[in-house]
Amino acid sequence: MFKKVLIANRGEIAIRVIRCLREHGIQSVAVYSDPDRDSLAVRYAHQAVHLPGNTSAETYMDIEKVLDAAKRTGCEAIHPGYGFLSEKAEFSQACRDAGIAFIGPHPESISSMGDKTTARELMIKAGVPVTPGFQNENGDRREALQAAQEMGFPVMIKASAGGGGKGMRRVDRAEDFLSNYDMAASEAKSAFGDDRIYIEKFIQNPRHIEVQIACDKHGNAIHLAERECSVQRRHQKVVEEAPSPAVTPEMRAKIGEIAIQAALAVNYDSVGTIEFLMDKDNNFFFMEMNTRLQVEHPVTEWITGVDLVRLQLQIAAGEKLPFSQDDITITGHSVECRVYAEDPEKNFMPSPGKITSLLTPSGLGVRDDSGVYPGYEVPIYYDPMISKLTTWGRDREEAILRMSRALGEYRVGGIKTNLWFHRALMQHPAWLAADLDTAFIERHPELLHKGLDEGHIEPALIAAAIKHYKTEARRGAAGPDEQTQNSSQWKAGARLAVMRYRSL
């Protein structure tokens, strides 16, 4: 096994990887941008190398700087996390050239799967069902429009190099196509350094089902069941669960086998995920492969007991899979809520700032993968996810009830979060009935309205009155310079703001 590993990432996933390294006596090296000097990752790692700059492009996505840090500190391997360099074939290649193990798949599989056209063709060849789509290689907007018209609206516009919802847009009418195309291309350029666009037929009311697979460098491959990620906002997953309530054991065996075929088609040699759309008739369509660890991997860890990061390390170190397919059993059910610094009432607008107080839930069947601590300032430069809360139960009902309980205990002061949205969701009849599709939130706008229980109006009035009273009392005691009600530097300036915010 490796003796020292660099983590080319930040936030909760850097913590996730450092935890695993710590557990196995492997030295960890964090890299950090200017705003991340005070991050948990820096604090928990054995070593920390500064990458000067604020933006991703200057820091976590700068291949040369990252490799340089790994070489100087004597790392034998690099873990890319998700996002940033994790799905850049040239980074996997650069690691190989530098004689450093990339904890992820070999570059050829990343490029094959990263390019939507190649992936499509490979999948069709391997007998995997695919959705109609068009790769706009030359950047000709008119050609893209024509392809969209041929497959029929609605269509999805996606960044070819993308993932995580960035640069992704649904277009319902031909006249909206070009403006959306431009914006997606521009976002793709800034997020991935690649403005190529992929157009895909939009499947109505699909469920998002994905299969976790793991392949070693010796030709062994297993799947670790599926996850369902149908609850999305801004085309990004916000709640996930495993197993999917819509998948029967027979379907699981079948899509597991298809997923393994898909991975073997590119000689895959790490953990990865095959994403499918499932239509109302239980047909599966290959969407894409994520050639990396997923944000939502903890739900799979809960139901299988497998440490997926440890498995990644073992595979990257050349070890054989320690499990056969028969060793993988599913126990119970797990749900994940992504906790974001954002305002669900304002179309999930990010809400960076200082976390003035923090209470995280725990107890039986609760896991919180967090990247923050009390006093930490959520920076404006990166994704606003602050933690992933997951629960486990003997069945879906117990996992959901436990999630409701855990969300109740979760308290974040100083910034807005989506915790109350998750609480409302966990009590929603359609969610409880597992009546899901990727437009779930749009179909249920009542989730975005606060105040469920009339019995709480009186205590809400009392608490607000006392808060107002205390604030005024403090204001009276303080000098004029200290009359700011919010402790965050960002918030201070925003008191007078009348900014209007609209969904894209």
Partner 1 sequence: MELIATIDQNEYQLKVEQLGDHRFRVNINGVDHEVDCMEVMEDLYSMIHHERSYDVHVHHGKKGHIETHFYDDSFHVEVVDPMQKILDQAMGGGGKGPAALEAAMPGLVQRILVKEGDEVAMDQGLLVLVAMKMENELGSPKAGVVKEIRVKEGDNVESGAVLITIE
User: Hey, which residues between 312 and 341 contact a second copy (CB under 8 A)?
Assistant: 331-332
Q: According to CB under 8 A, which residues from 251 to 270 bind a second copy? A: none
Catalytic residue (one of 10, 292, 367, 423): 292
- Least Å from the CB of residue 503 to partner 1: 8
Of 9, 294, 370, 438, the one binding a second copy by CB under 8 A: 370
d(CA 484, CA 487): 7
Of 176, 409, 442, 472, the one binding a second copy by CB under 8 A: 409
Strand pairing category for 47-50 and 27-32: parallel
Burial class (CB in 10 A: 0-12, 13-18, 19+), 179: exposed
- Least Å from the CB of residue 390 to a second copy: 10
- Helix (H) / strand (E) containing 277: strand 271-278
Nearer to partner 1, 170 or 217 (CB): 170
Q: Side-chain half-sphere of 168: how many Cα atoms within 13 Å?
A: 16
Of 1, 4, 22, 349, the one binding a second copy by CB under 8 A: 22
Cα–Cα separations (whole angstroms), residue 305 to 270, 297, 299, 310, 504: 18, 12, 10, 12, 39
Of 6, 11, 16, 350, the one binding a second copy by CB under 8 A: 16
Residue 471 lies near a second copy (rule: CB under 8 A): no
Give the tokens for residue 283.
């047909």
Select the binding partner of residue 438 from partner 1, a second copy, none (C-beta < 5 to 8 A, by kind). Answer: none
Cβ neighbors of 223 (< 8 A, separation 6 or more) are 211, 212, 213, 214, 256, 257, 259, 260, 325, 328
149-163 per-residue burial string, b: 16 or more CB within 10 A, e: under 16:
eebeeebbbbbbbbb
Q: How many chain residues interact with a second copy (CB under 8 A)? A: 37
Of 127, 152, 193, 363, the one binding a second copy by CB under 8 A: 363
d(CA 357, CA 367): 19
Nearer to partner 1, 124 or 473 (CB): 473
d(CA 501, CA 504): 10
Of 56, 112, 160, 360, the one binding a second copy by CB under 8 A: 360
Select the binding partner of residue 16 from partner 1, a second copy, none (C-beta < 5 to 8 A, by kind). Answer: a second copy
Give the tokens for residue 273.
């995920």
- Least Å from the CB of residue 208 to partner 1: 20
Residue 376 lies near a second copy (rule: CB under 8 A): no
Nearer to a second copy, 62 or 301 (CB): 301
Select the binding partner of residue 57 from partner 1, a second copy, none (C-beta < 5 to 8 A, by kind). Answer: none
Smallest Cα–Cα separation from 285: which of 250, 247, 267, 258?
258
Q: According to CB under 8 A, which residues from 32 to 91 bind a second copy? A: 44
Q: According to CB under 8 A, which residues from 383 to 402 bind a second copy? A: 394, 398, 401-402
Select the binding partner of residue 368 from partner 1, a second copy, none (C-beta < 5 to 8 A, by kind). Answer: a second copy
50-76 per-residue burial string, b: 16 or more CB within 10 A, e: under 16:
bbebeebeebbbbeebbbebbeebebb
- 292 among known catalytic residues: yes
Select the binding partner of residue 394 from a second copy, partner 1, none (C-beta < 5 to 8 A, by kind). Answer: a second copy
Smallest Cα–Cα separation from 318: which of 378, 269, 371?
269
Nearer to partner 1, 36 or 275 (CB): 36
Of 125, 142, 281, 364, the one binding a second copy by CB under 8 A: 364
d(CA 246, CA 260): 20
Residue 423 lies near a second copy (rule: CB under 8 A): no
d(CA 49, CA 29): 7
Residue numbers at the binding site for a second copy (CB under 8 A) = 15-16, 19-20, 22-25, 44, 298, 301, 305, 307, 331-332, 357, 359-360, 362-370, 373-374, 394, 398, 401-402, 404-405, 408-409
- Catalytic residue set: 292
